[in-house]
Amino acid sequence: MGSSPAAGGTQAVDRAAALIDLVVRADDPPSFTELSDETGLARSTTSRLLAALERTDLIERHPTGGYVAGPLFALHAAIRDPWPQVARLARPVLEAVGESTGESVHLGIVRGTSVVHIGQVESTYLLSARDWNQVDVPAHCSALGKVLYAYEVLPLPPGRLERRTDRTVTTREALSAELATIRRLGYAVTQDELETGLSAIAAPVRGKEGVICAIGVSGPTARLQDRVGPVGRLLVEQSDALSDLLGRPTHHLADDHRLQSPTKEGAA
């Protein structure tokens, strides 16, 4: 007598669970062959189950070709220790923006009264912005910082603000007026405010409780000054996609199709 449909369904779940267990516990991303051999499953069965697990974001393909735990695990972990996992979930967005603009792309969060970079994609240009991950930048000179001021994630600084260049905003009144414009446009811009010749654009990323971080682009003013609007709108589009991912119920994660790489023509 053949097995019942219920028994067959349970067997499929058990096999899929075995594959997930091997992937999550592995020190290095296991290959397709290793997973098939370790579980004793036929290659066709292994292929079918791995494809289903990828579709539901339980596993994903590592650049080496092996398999690692998928975004659903990262989203679950982000509830408890958010920033490393938010950085991981944001990586496709940063890469999409970097591919489209060619410029350096950053993910910034608030720690205390400072903006800290927790993710970066390097520019494809030889002349580009530096690695900001370990650099302390005054938030009022930073597009990321202005976004986080605008949405009250970062408290406004007291007193007169430090002047870095002739373009730096140095009063609370001027900064407050600029923050209203940022909220209207949905993105912030700095041009020659931190350093002459350096510009940046940034947009907010929302979680379930509101704005939690920001993504931005930085590069030479000569390359960015004529692309402010298109790059700003690109950042809003991609940050909204990431916001949807971070704010939605976990059982809707597999339905996400918005984190797509835009074309360079669309962002230039």
Same domain? For 145 and 197 the reply is yes
Q: What is the DSSP letter of 168?
A: -
8 A C-beta contact, residue 152 and residue 110: no
Same domain? For 145 and 214 the reply is yes
8 A C-beta contact, residue 66 and residue 30: yes
Cα 222 vs. chain centroid, distance in angstroms? 26
Mean pLDDT of 80-100: 87
The residue assigned the tokens 């797509």 is 260
Same domain? For 101 and 223 the reply is yes
Q: Indicate whether 44 belongs to any domain.
A: yes
Same domain? For 65 and 111 the reply is no
* pLDDT computed for residue 135 by the predictor: 61
Confidence check: pLDDT of 256 > 60: no
Q: Indicate whether 74 belongs to any domain.
A: no
Q: Indicate whether 238 belongs to any domain.
A: yes
Domain boundary among 69, 89, 114: 69
Same domain? For 171 and 252 the reply is yes
At 41, give phi and psi (nearest 5°).
-85, 150
Same domain? For 28 and 161 the reply is no
Domain boundary among 14, 36, 69: 69
The CATH number covering residue 28 comes to 1.10.10.10
- For 107-147, write each residue's pLDDT tens digit: 999 988 889 899 999 999 877 655 555 567 889 999 999 99
Cα 99 vs. chain centroid, distance in angstroms? 14
In b/e form, how buried is each residue of 96-114, taking b as 16+ CB within 10 angstroms? bbbbbbbbbbbbbbbeeee
Q: Which of 197, 211, 241 is nearest to 108 (CA)?
A: 211
Same domain? For 168 and 257 the reply is yes
Same domain? For 126 and 249 the reply is yes
Same domain? For 113 and 225 the reply is yes
* pLDDT computed for residue 103 by the predictor: 95
Same domain? For 119 and 54 the reply is no
Q: Indicate whether 103 belongs to any domain.
A: yes
8 A C-beta contact, residue 244 and residue 71: no
The two most distant CA atoms of the chain are separated, in Å, by: 84
Confidence check: pLDDT of 177 > 70: yes
Same domain? For 127 and 218 the reply is yes
Q: Indicate whether 202 belongs to any domain.
A: yes
Q: Indicate whether 165 belongs to any domain.
A: yes
- Residue 35, token pair as written in the block: 């997973």
8 A C-beta contact, residue 154 and residue 148: yes
The CATH number covering residue 106 comes to 3.30.450.40
Q: How are beta strands 114-121 and 104-111 bridged, if at all?
A: antiparallel
CA separation for the pair 50, 70 (Å, rounded): 11
Q: Indicate whether 147 belongs to any domain.
A: yes
- For 205-225, write each residue's pLDDT tens digit: 998 889 999 999 999 999 999
Same domain? For 207 and 248 the reply is yes
Q: How are beta strands 198-207 and 210-220 bridged, if at all?
A: antiparallel
- Residue 191, token pair as written in the block: 């041009």
- For 39, the domain range is 5-69
Pick 65 or 254 by higher pLDDT.
65
Q: Which helix (H) or strand (E) covers residue 90, if one does?
A: helix 82-101
The residue assigned the tokens 């971070």 is 246
- For 26-69, write each residue's pLDDT tens digit: 888 999 999 999 999 999 999 999 999 999 889 989 888 999 98
Q: 118-126: long-range contacts (C-beta < 8 A, 24 or more apart)?
A: 118/83, 118/84, 118/86, 118/87, 118/213, 119/87, 119/90, 119/91, 119/94, 120/94, 121/94, 121/95, 121/97, 122/98, 123/98, 123/219, 124/98, 125/219, 125/223
Domain boundary among 46, 69, 92: 69
Tally of structural domains, the chain: 2
Q: Indicate whether 241 belongs to any domain.
A: yes
CA separation for the pair 51, 55 (Å, rounded): 6
